[in-house]
Structure 1
Amino acid sequence: MGGSRGLMGPEAFAQLRIMVGAMIAEKVDGLAPAPSSASFLAAHPVGCVYMTTIHTNPGTLYGGTWVERPSVGAFLYERTA
């Protein structure tokens, strides 16, 4: 290794990127698919409260009319139409 203690060369880095990419792809392939808009709205009828850690209105993702409600530590949305 000489003077490059702790550092890897470009070939080793490229191999590492390929291995990490393969591990990520393997994990992602094992995830459940995202729900369709119709199934999400069917599971969350008008009056339902939806809690998420992402500050994106569910109406943007799935449709329907949602109102953000006050909360601490998460984001709450109530389906109003």
Structure 2
Amino acid sequence: MRRGYIPLLLWVLVGGTARPHAFGKGGTIDRAVLKDMEASVRPLKLTDCEPATLRDLCLPEKLTECERQCREALAAQEEEEW
């Protein structure tokens, strides 16, 4: 009789601790993964072309070329907004 209680106890523990709202489709984990994927696909929006920003984005040996491209991209973004 005691052997029958062990699977029942395990089933109750697993069933009671599982979080279907977290793991199911549309659950909290699913929404978090989707949000991360959307953030990684969203294009980078430049706000300035200051040297500190360019050092983070560009290679040091291509800093002048990167600055030119940054200014062109920033101008194009401003035109799209208007």
- Calculate the TM-score normalised by the size of structure 2: 0.31
TM norm structure 1: 0.32
* Structure number with larger C-alpha Rg: 2
**Which structure has greater helix proportion?**
2
Q: Which has the higher contact order (CA 8 A, sep 6+)?
A: 1
